[in-house]
Each structure stands twice: as C-alpha cells, then as structure tokens.
Amino acid sequence: MITKVIIPLAGLATRHLPLSKVLSKEFLPLADKPLLHYAVQEAKNAGVKDIIFVVNAQKKIAADYFKKVPQLEKALEEKKQEDLLNSLAEAEKLAAGLTFSYALDKPLGDGHAVLQARKLAGEEPCFVLYPDDVIESRTPCLAQLAQVFRTAGKPILALFEMPPEKLALYGIVTPEKIASRLYKIKHITEKPSKTAAPSRLAIAGRSIITPEVFDYLKKAKPNKKGEVSLTETFGQMVKDGKIIYGYQCEGRWWECGNKEGWLKSFVYFAATHPQFGKEIRKFIKDEKLT
C-alpha cells in the first residue's frame, strides 16, 4: 500500500499574479475551502499517512492550515459560534492520523521539487499530487492509480481525454492500449498542435513514482527554461525503454493553475456547495448571469 504523497508547493504561481504575491496558490479557495484542503482530502481517502510538502523558504505555512488554534477556538466558544467551530474542526479532523513534513526547494521546476523529497519518501513508491489540479470523482484519482499499481508495479500517470482545441496546453501521450483505461506510454509530446497530437490523452497532476524516477531526476539536465520537468523526465525514461503506464482516470478534472480555470472551478464548486449552493444558483439566476 502506498502511504506517502509528495505535494510540490515551491512554484512562483506567476499565472496568478498579482494575487500570488501575497497568497500562495494552494490557498486559493474553491467555494469555502482552499485547494490544499481538496488535495489532502484526496490523499487521505486514498490511504496516505505521510504528507510531504515541497516548499521554498518563504512558504512553510502549509501544515498550519490543519493545526489547532486554541486561542481562536476559545474565543469562538465564548461567543457560542458553533458553526465556526465546526468549520475549524473540519480541517483538524482531516489532519487526524496524518504526519506532515517539509522538503525545501527553489523554483527550478516540478521535477527538481519532487527530487528534494527523496529522503523523506524513502526507497518506496509514492504519489505525486499537484493541488492546482482538483479531480472530482467517486473513487479518489490516487486510489484509482494505486489499484493499477498493485499489479503493474511501474510508474503510472493519470490521463484524461481532452478536446482537440486544448491539446496544445498539455503533455500528450502516444498510448498502447493494455486493458480498459490502461495504456503503456510509447512517447510523450509536450504541447502539440491539435493536428500533430498523437492522441487526446493528456497528463494530469497525479502520478505514482518509483525510486527509479528519482534516479532519472537526479541526472536530468535543466530544459531551456532552466527547469527540471517531471513530465520530460518521464519522456526520457520512455525513450530509454523504461515502462511507464498511463491510466485514464474516471472523474472530472478541474484545472486551477491559471486564472480562467480557477474562476470557472470556483463558480462550479460554489454553485454545488451542499450548504450555500442553492442560494448561489439563485443569485446567478436573479442577476441574469446566465
């Protein structure tokens, strides 16, 4: 069973400027919870026990979100604000049974960030999860990958089918079908035009990596941007004849890595919120926003 997840948080989030100057991207909200909450919730639901945050020196606050704040709780108790106490307790309950640790990094690419977590991850397979990709599914996306890994035993990338007009935004795989939703990856093409794309299967921000992936990251050279890319490293492994699988996950992929994607995701999660959704939908209708 895979019990560790690496969550890279060291990036500059330039696509969310100027907001990201003062607010780390993982704390952007979807409805009433930050992206980080959804990420840790998915990891815990997939059986993870150890959360490894890869951060830069200015962003070591991720685990603070899940900590108890006795003074605040006491103030709310004195004011008998039970609804707010329950809201605080939700994050604390999510953290129960989890351990949080940090690896320090500089913004030198997601592959470089993942490599910094090697000592904490140990010589065993682990998940990699990007919080700005939120996967809405009945079975957690990570759990779907873990189920395949039990028999495959090789690195696995989460795949989603995308419309042709969006293929130029992603790493697109050349797939060889093995079973229902399961593919052996023959090649990875970074951001191809829709006419040059080898398929419509895009790599999402979920994967299972093995110690061999860390070995490749260690010897990987920075690309033209001066970064070490995890996707490019997977591509090199495939070129070298290493087996990398892709699994077309069930669910819906909400992209929050850019402003437009995050805003659309926010509207959806707000409008479907179990407590506030009805009023949000009424507001949208009353304001004639549709």
* Distances in whole angstroms, Cα of residue 273 to Cα of each of 89, 125, 278: 18, 35, 8
**Interval 268-287: pLDDT, tens:** 999 999 999 999 999 999 99
The pLDDT of residue 85 is 86
Q: Which residue numbers in the chain have pLDDT < 70?
A: 57-60
DSSP string, the chain: ---EEEEE--S--GGGTTGGGTS-GGG-EETTEEHHHHHHHHHHHTT--EEEEEE-TT-TTGGGGGS--HHHHHHHHHTT-HHHHHHHHHHHHHHTT-EEEEEE--SS-HHHHHHTTHHHH-SS-EEEE-TTEEEE-SS-HHHHHHHHHHHH-S-EEEEEE--GGGGGGSEEEEEEEEETTEEEEEEEEES--TTT-S-SEEEEEEEEE-HHHHHHHHHPPP-TTS---HHHHHHHHHHTT---EEEE-SSEEEE-SSHHHHHHHHHHHHHT-TTTHHHHHHHHHHTT--
Euclidean distance between CA atoms 171 and 178, whole angstroms: 20
**Interval 169-219: pLDDT, tens:** 999 999 999 999 999 999 999 899 888 899 999 999 999 999 999 999 999
The pLDDT of residue 58 is 63
The pLDDT of residue 21 is 81
Domain that holds residue 8: 4-286
Q: Residue 86 class from Cβ within 10 Å (0-12 exposed, 13-18 middle, 19+ buried)?
A: exposed
The pLDDT of residue 84 is 84
CB 40 within 8 A of CB 127: no
Taking the chain, what is the end-to-end CA distance rounded to the nearest angstrom? 46
Peptide bond into 18 cis (omega under 30): yes
The pLDDT of residue 60 is 59
* Distances in whole angstroms, Cα of residue 4 to Cα of each of 29, 117, 131: 25, 11, 15
Return the residue matching tokens 């970074």.
Answer: 190
Task: Show the tokens assigned to 15.
Answer: 């696509």
CB 247 within 8 A of CB 149: no
Residue 78 CB neighbour total at 10 angstroms: 8
The pLDDT of residue 13 is 77
pTM score, two decimals?
A: 0.93
Phi then psi for 128, rounded to 5 degrees?
-125, 130
Residue 76 CB neighbour total at 10 angstroms: 18
What CATH number does residue 265 fall under?
3.90.550.10
How many domains is the chain partitioned into structurally?
Answer: 1
